[in-house]
Amino acid sequence: MSRLNLRTAFKRAPNPEAPPPSHQVCLEGDVKQAIDVGRTRLVIAAALFAMAFGAVGLRLADVTVMSRGGEPRLADAPRVAAPIQTTRAEILDRNGLLLATSLYTPSLYADPQAVIDPVAAARALATVLPGISEQEIVTKLSAERRFVWIKRNLTPRQKFEINRLGIPGFYFQREERRVYPQSGAAAHVVGYTDVDGRGIAGIEQSFDEVLRSGGQPVQLSLDLRLQHIVRESLIESMTEFQAIGAAGVVLDAKTAEVLAMVSLPDFDPNHAGSIDPDAQFNRATLGVYEMGSTFKVFNHAMALDSGKVRIGGSFDATQPIRISRFTINDYHPEKRWLSVAEIFEHSSNIGSARMAMEVGVNGQQDFMKKIGMLARLPIEVPEAGLPLAPSPWREINLMTISFGHGLSVSPLHLVSGVSAMVNGGVLRPVTLLKREAGATPAGTRVIAERTSEQMRKLLRLVVEKGTGRNASAEGYLVGGKTGTAEKLSGRGYNRKARISSFVGAFPINDPKYIVLAMIDEPVGNKRTFGYATGGWVAAPVVKNIVQRMAPMYGILPVDESAPEIRRDLVLDIAPRDTQNGGKRLASY
């Protein structure tokens, strides 16, 4: 091919001319509407993004430029976990420590008609659920019902293991379980509930409706710290003296709040189904006992307040008193005339009986009624014992009650009465509920202030020079009275079974707390020279409690020989003792 032809062949074709205007594409109808909607959405989205970025920018400017420096305010805010809402309210001690609460737990039930092989199912479940036998499960699954409980209040692990078994016909129901974090520390006060959450003892029973409302917690007067101190001290004494039981109470002498209450043996309310009846018995409030010589506190106060006996008087204790077929003796007879103070110091039964005779049967009965010894205490637990009083009230009863026999009361009765004898003479209702701070409840005057002052001096005398010397906690001015009473057995008394107790107050020049320790059937040992009396067994318990609780309550030890202390507790006596002549005893 010639060169000319090649050029002609590869010559570029001319560009096509643009189509005439009449051939342009026009968008009409649905297509145009879709494009318009899309455009509008893009505009709105862009505006929203612009607003968002603008807000972020303004906030950054506020934080970095406008705000003051320093730590974020949220760092200072306390973070309080939201409480778990349950249908039964909590029980707390006076400091807010948890005594009882509720937790949600799964419970296992079955539809026996839907269980394919009851025997195989029972065999498998018995390996997962302790405390229930294979035969028990088979019996439940054989019932002609559509609903039977297998076991309630399971643990999460048990629920997981049952689910792994994959047995048809078994189901879970959400329930509440009452939990007691302190175990047996305050078991007799707090009480417990049954499997359906109904209170059946203690505060749980008394305040069942209030607790069921799920409102505010019920706050008790108990101090859990002090509760542990009392419990440990009593357990130590029970162990040493091989006793069958014990009780202890600490009461605020001004407000009548029970700060500690222990009854031993006790129990774990978390396992209410296996409580021993003896452990369930509340010795502090339900048990009533002849409290022995601790009742001489009331006898002396009664006699002095009546005006028929004076603090400087004296009585013949040279010989036992014989009345009818009974003989009244002294445990350690002095066999001489004793002053009123010496009768208390030496715990003379003979002298106490002669003092009571000055007041008379009607006077004694009226006094015991006035200080609450003849009625059930209005305490906030259902386990409250009714005193056992003689009927008719004869002269022999007058004498024996003067030294703590013939009238049975609970340990809480004793503590309540002693509080009135030393706090200025006012009996206030005891309570297990925390009172408002600074609140002093109204009370009833039962003895004069002067009589109360005399009783404080007499109680100090017992600890300083008498039968209660083992209760002396140096620096804390303990005053108190020992008591040892043989227990009733049939129609008489068992000389080998006794209640040994000590009730004290401190500091005795201005009593703030009343402390009682009672040991049930102690056995003497080598350390106590075979004695198991209140002075040897119970007095040291009170001493231990006082020494441990006083620093905790801000009570500082004092110099017991300081002039101001001696002045407050000195006791002037002019006894009518022809053998020894007049003398002045000082109790400090």
Q: Please list the active-site residues.
A: 293
CB 446 within 8 A of CB 423: no
* Residues making up the chain, counted from first to last: 588
Structure tokens at 8: 């002609």
Structure tokens at 110: 């079955």
Angle 570-574-577 (CA atoms, 0-180°, nearest 5)? 130
* Backbone region of residue 489 per phi and psi (left: phi > 0; alpha: psi in -120 to 50; beta: other values): beta
Q: Are strands 326-328 and 91-92 parallel, antiparallel or unpaired?
A: unpaired
What is the 8-class DSSP label of residue 66?
I
What is the 8-class DSSP label of residue 253?
T
Instruction: Indicate the SS3 state at residue 109.
Output: strand
Angle between helices 395-402 and 296-306 (to 10 degrees): 110
Spell out the residues 6+ positions from residue 26 whose beta carbon is closer than 8 angstroms to its own: none
Please list the alpha-helical segments (H only) found in 96-223: 118-126, 134-141, 156-165, 187-190, 202-206, 208-212
Residue 238 to residue 283: CA distance in whole angstroms: 14
The C-alpha R_g of the chain, in whole angstroms, comes to 41
Q: What distances in angstroms separate CA 486 from CA 87, 137, 300, 423, 534, one per listed residue?
A: 48, 51, 22, 30, 12
* Backbone region of residue 251 per phi and psi (left: phi > 0; alpha: psi in -120 to 50; beta: other values): beta
Q: What distances in angstroms separate CA 408 from CA 272, 339, 379, 390, 401, one per listed residue?
A: 30, 28, 18, 9, 9
Please list the alpha-helical segments (H only) found in 254-339: 277-280, 296-306
Q: Which among 543, 136, 573, 562 is positioned nearest to 340, based on CA atoms?
A: 573
CB 443 within 8 A of CB 571: no
Structure tokens at 378: 């209005």
CB 272 within 8 A of CB 280: no
Residue 257 to residue 440: CA distance in whole angstroms: 10
Sign of CA dihedral 431, 433, 437, 439: negative
CB 328 within 8 A of CB 441: no
* Backbone region of residue 264 per phi and psi (left: phi > 0; alpha: psi in -120 to 50; beta: other values): beta
What is the 8-class DSSP label of residue 73?
G
